[in-house]
Amino acid sequence: MTPFHLYMAQRLSALVMAPFVLVHLGVMIYAIQGGLTAAEILGRTQGSVFWFLFYGMFVVAVALHAALGLRVVLAEWAGLRGRTLTFTAWIIGLGLLGLGANAVWAVTAGGMS
């Protein structure tokens, strides 16, 4: 990966995230209007392939975007370079991906088992 490819990956992941953020916020505001309980929301999301793909892709984009953004911050503000920088960025990315994937699995696939 060249610096240019990292730049493109961060911009493209931002492009992917933008509609996800808007839909996520819109659905959240809409869903609580009628006073839905957590159990009722989970009843709708669990077992849904649509919400699994929606939040699954969202989490992948977030992990990529945040790890690449923090990579630059760590390079410029903390002076990390070379392998240390690459390793730290991977840890951040994989950590976010793990946390996010865990949540997506619980909210969308929990009902499938």
Partner 1 sequence: MSDRESIIVTVQRGGPATPQYPQEFEVPAFESQTVLDVVSWIQQNVDPTLTYRFACRVGMCGSCAMMVNGVPRWTCRTHVNKVLKGGKIEVGPLRNLPVIKDLAADMDPFFDKWVAAEGRHHPTLSRDDAIAEIDPEQAQRKEASLGIECINCSICYSACDTVAGDSDYLGPAALQRAWTLYNDGKDADKDAILDAVSGKGGCHSCHSMGSCTAYCPNGLDPLSAIAGLKRATTQRFFRGRAK
Judged by the rule CB under 8 A, the positions of this chain that interact with partner 1 are 2-4, 6-8, 11, 72, 75-77
Q: How far is the CB of 28 from partner 1 (least distance, A)?
A: 31
Exposure string of 67-91, with b = 16+ CB inside 10 Å and e = fewer, is bbebbeebbeeeebeeeebeebbee
- 42 vs 85 by CB, closer to partner 1: 85
- The secondary structure of the chain in percent helix, strand, coil, rounded to multiples of 5, reads 85, 0, 15
Q: How far is the CB of 3 from partner 1 (least distance, A)?
A: 6
- 8 vs 23 by CB, closer to partner 1: 8
- 44 vs 81 by CB, closer to partner 1: 81
